[in-house]
């Protein structure tokens, strides 16, 4: 996510900076894992993120998980805590991969597992046939 894509107070009212940062981390995680999980989304990408960008997105999401673990009984936090081993596994795989549009099967599987554990629903057409959200005109 670039600086211009980050939510601003104009976009989110008086949302505290911590909440804005968490929102950016969640959006970044979703963008990265969906692209890794769905070959057609990755194929349509105009630019492949660097390994460092992918790791940064996962690290930001892992920071949310660390914060959620401070309040494990909060029902909203359970999805983050459940996702932790899957996000860690995905991070380990990406750390040794040179990003390209050809995503290895183990990374696709880890991305899909991280999404499911994060309470994301697989698209009705399945990850292999998912082409992403339609562009807003």
Q: Any long-range contacts for 79-82 (C-beta under 8 Å, 24+ apart)?
A: 79/117, 79/118, 79/119, 80/118, 82/117, 82/118
- Count Cβ atoms within 10 A of the Cβ of residue 105 and give its class: 0-12 exposed, 13-18 middle, 19 or more buried: exposed
pLDDT averaged over consecutive 10-residue blocks of the chain (137 residues)?
A: 49 72 88 96 94 96 88 77 94 97 97 93 94 72
- pTM greater than 0.95: no
pLDDT of res. 3: 52
pLDDT of res. 112: 97
- The CA-CA-CA angle for residues 8, 84, 94, to 5°, reads 80
């Amino acid at each position: 996510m670039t600086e211009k894509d980050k939510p601003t107070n104009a976009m989110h009212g008086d949302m505290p900076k911590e909440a804005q940062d968490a929102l950016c981390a969640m959006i970044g995680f979703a963008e990265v894992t969906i692209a890794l999980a769905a070959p057609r989304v990755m194929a349509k990408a105009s630019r492949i993120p660097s390994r460092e960008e992918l790791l940064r997105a996962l690290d930001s999401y892992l920071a949310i998980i660390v914060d959620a673990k401070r309040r494990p009984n909060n029902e909203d936090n359970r999805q983050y805590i459940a996702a932790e081993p899957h996000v860690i596994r995905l991070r380990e795989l990406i750390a040794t991969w040179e990003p390209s549009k050809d995503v290895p099967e183990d990374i696709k599987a880890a991305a899909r597992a991280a999404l499911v554990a994060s309470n994301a629903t697989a698209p009705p057409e399945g990850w292999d046939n998912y082409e992403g959200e339609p562009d807003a005109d």
